[in-house]
Amino acid sequence: MPLLAMPVDFRYHLASLLAVFCALLIGVLLGIALVGDPSLEKQLQVFKQERSDNRNTIAKLAQADRQHRAFGKQVLPYLADQRLRGLRVAIIVNRDLGDAPWVEGVITTIRQAGAQLTSTTAILPKFAELQREDVAKTFAEFGFPIPIEGEPRSVLAGKLAAYVAEGRPDLPYRLRQLGLIRREGDYTVAADCVLLIGGTDTDLTSINEIDLPMIRALQEVDKRVIACEESNAQLSAMHAYQRRAIPTVDNADTVAGQLALVLVLAGASGNYGAKSTADQLLPPLQP
């Protein structure tokens, strides 16, 4: 019986395929017949004109956007000039700098504003993968008590932030040797404030287990903290940062966001940017 069933199935599928091809042929013939319809041809011309108009509008908007960006980049140095003179700023980035090329623009703007950038610390993904026994070894090396409760790597993140801000280089140097961070700058110089560059494209675990403990630790050693992220972060961390009552900027990859960062580092408080968590775009621009 199975041998007899095979030709029946084949003929059934062949008939189905023929029916499909016939339906497609009928559709093509109907389409050809309708092309000669004046009303259809008129609608087609209208559609083509609308498409052309939309393309022209998009091109004009793109050109205007490029001009506005170029204008902003030219005026930003003048607006930020010397507003941060004498201020020592440490930057901590909760990701590899290679994953956030816009951070270079933030660094350039801060320096143009006259600030001394004491150090830049990038926390690598390996840090978030630390196990309790890994952290225990580092704690024993530095004489830190191992926490009975909570996440040990969160405690380590807090200690790292405090050491960076206070100009204590031994822990940052050791974590670099372990491949947990990248560092640049002079870690023997204490910072007046710390700029935390966060945001995430995956989930908020890293924010809760690394960023927030760092903010708490910095507040405990009486260091001012400002947090920022890029405008197109898939998951915004602004709500989490604002629970710690610190100033935030949610569009630090833009000219407006970088100007807001300068004004906040200069002393303004509040939440700025383009997202729903922002109070307004910029702090008051004082002369």
Q: What is the 3-state secondary structure (H, E, C) of the chain?
A: CHHHHHHHHHHHHHHHHHHHHHHHHHHHHHHHHHHCCHHHHHHHHHHHHHHHHHHHHHHHHHHHHHHHHHHHHHHHHHHHCCCCCCCEEEEEECCCHHHCCCHHHHHHHHHHCCCEEEEEEEECHHHHCCCHHHHHHHHHHHCCCCCCCCCHHHHHHHHHHHHHHHCCCHHHHHHHHCCCEEEEECCCCCCCEEEEECCECCCCHHHHHHHHHHHHHHHHCCCEEEEECCCCCCECCHHHHHCCCCCEECCCCCHHHHHHHHHHHCCCCCEECCCCCCCECCCCCCC
**Are 240 and 156 members of one domain?**
yes
What b/e sequence results for 203-233 when a residue is b if at least 16 CB atoms lie within 10 Å of its CB, and e otherwise?
ebebbebbbbbbbbbbeeeebbbbbbbbbeb
pTM value?
Answer: 0.78
**Are 23 and 116 members of one domain?**
no
**Are 103 and 58 members of one domain?**
no
**Are 93 and 33 members of one domain?**
no
Domain span at residue 61?
2-66
**Are 116 and 257 members of one domain?**
yes
**Is residue 195, in this structure, part of any structural domain at all?**
yes
**Is residue 78, in this structure, part of any structural domain at all?**
no
**Are 49 and 100 members of one domain?**
no
pLDDT at 71 over 60: yes
**Are 6 and 143 members of one domain?**
no
**Is residue 219, in this structure, part of any structural domain at all?**
yes
**Are 232 and 165 members of one domain?**
yes
| Cα(107)–Cα(117) distance, integer angstroms | 8
**Is residue 11, in this structure, part of any structural domain at all?**
yes
**Are 29 and 123 members of one domain?**
no
Domain count, the chain: 2
Q: What is the mean pLDDT of residues 146-170?
A: 91
Give the model's pLDDT for residue 33.
56
Give the model's pLDDT for residue 6.
36
Give the model's pLDDT for residue 25.
55
**Is residue 264, in this structure, part of any structural domain at all?**
yes
**Are 120 and 261 members of one domain?**
yes
**Is residue 71, in this structure, part of any structural domain at all?**
no
**Is residue 285, in this structure, part of any structural domain at all?**
no
Q: Hey, how many other C-beta atoms are within 10 angstroms of the C-beta on 187?
A: 23
**Are 106 and 46 members of one domain?**
no
CA distances from 84 to 128, 171, 173 (A): 33, 28, 28
pLDDT at 42 over 90: no
Give the model's pLDDT for residue 286.
77
**Are 105 and 162 members of one domain?**
yes
Q: In this predicted model, what pLDDT tens digit does every residue of 216-238 receive, in sequence order?
A: 999 999 999 999 999 988 888 99
**Is residue 221, in this structure, part of any structural domain at all?**
yes
- Residue 16 one-letter amino acid: S
- DSSP lists the bridge partners of residue 93 as 122, 197
Residues 98/185, Cβ–Cβ less than 8 Å:
no
CA distances from 175 to 3, 9, 42, 103, 278 (A): 71, 68, 70, 22, 35
